[in-house]
């Protein structure tokens, strides 16, 4: 009887040990020569008026550290968040926030097809709601998928009437690798690791350009 119970426990123990090994190896620091440069830079911001609203376009530059690439290769998805806020400047009081919007991006490797899938949603994609309203794109290479993430296009801030017709608008744009959407064990393991600190923020006064 004891032998049978022990045999039944082996698959469970092996699964637990395998999961622990994946987490441990993913959180190990990579050799200095192989590490990418953590951090990000916002290289472009553009405010554009279209018939159906006002949109922000932005470009972000960053290099994905090898440690994060190893996590992706193990089949674990990573998440990015782009966020924009638009303020109305008031000389007599603090600036009024007119609009705030987020874009969530989930990047994962598909071993069966050997392709990279990018999900884009206005809501966090870890839940069924966010995944259900997300747009999907597939890429042949990781580089192509990252290029799509770095180009933030048509982030809708609101209707033209809501934004106003001021000549300049103050816009704050943020971009980050969101570790809060990782599996819970990873959230604990990556705390304090510089390789996972990919983020940038930029505030600028932008003119509202007509869509070409």
More confident residue, 11 or 115: 115
- Asked if the model's pLDDT at residue 31 lies above 60, the reply is no
What are 128-163's pLDDT values in tens digits? Answer: 555 667 899 999 999 999 999 999 999 999 998 888
3-state SS, residue 137: strand
Residue 116: what pLDDT?
A: 97
More confident residue, 45 or 92: 45
Q: Which of 136, 29, 122 is nearest to 77 (CA)?
A: 136
What are 37-76's pLDDT values in tens digits? Answer: 458 999 999 999 998 999 999 999 999 998 899 889 988 8
Residue 130: what pLDDT?
A: 57
Please report, for the chain, the start and end positions of each structural domain, with discontinuous segments joined by +.
2-210
- Residue 99 CA to residue 108 CA, distance in Å, equals 30
Count the neighbouring beta carbons within 10 Å of the beta carbon of residue 181: 20
Per DSSP (E only), the strands in the chain are 41-50, 53-61, 78-88, 96-110, 115-121, 135-139, 151-158, 168-177, 199-210
Residue 131: what pLDDT?
A: 61
pLDDT-derived band at 8 (thresholds 50, 70, 90) equals low
Query: In b/e form, how buried is each residue of 64-83, taking b as 16+ CB within 10 angstroms?
Result: bbebbbbbbeeebbbbbbbb
């Amino acid at each position: 009887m004891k032998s049978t119970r022990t045999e039944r426990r082996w698959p469970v123990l092996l699964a637990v040990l395998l999961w622990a090994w994946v987490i441990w190896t993913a959180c190990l620091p990579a050799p200095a020569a192989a590490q990418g440069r953590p951090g990000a830079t916002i290289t472009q911001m553009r405010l554009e008026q279209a018939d159906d609203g006002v949109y922000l376009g932005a470009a972000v530059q960053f290099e994905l550290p090898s440690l994060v690439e190893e996590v992706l290769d193990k089949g674990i998805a990573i998440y990015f968040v782009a966020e924009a806020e638009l303020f109305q400047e008031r000389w007599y009081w603090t600036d009024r926030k007119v609009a705030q919007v987020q874009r969530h991006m989930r990047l994962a490797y598909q071993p069966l097809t050997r392709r990279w899938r990018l999900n884009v949603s206005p809501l966090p994609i870890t839940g069924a709601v966010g995944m259900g309203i997300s747009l999907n794109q597939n890429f042949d290479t990781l580089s192509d998928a990252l290029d799509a993430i770095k180009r933030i296009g048509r982030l809708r801030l609101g209707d033209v009437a809501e934004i106003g017709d001021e000549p300049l608008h103050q816009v704050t744009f943020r971009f980050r690798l969101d570790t809060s959407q990782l599996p819970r064990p990873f959230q604990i393991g990556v705390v304090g690791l510089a390789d996972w600190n990919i983020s940038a923020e930029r505030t600028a006064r932008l003119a509202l350009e007509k869509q070409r």
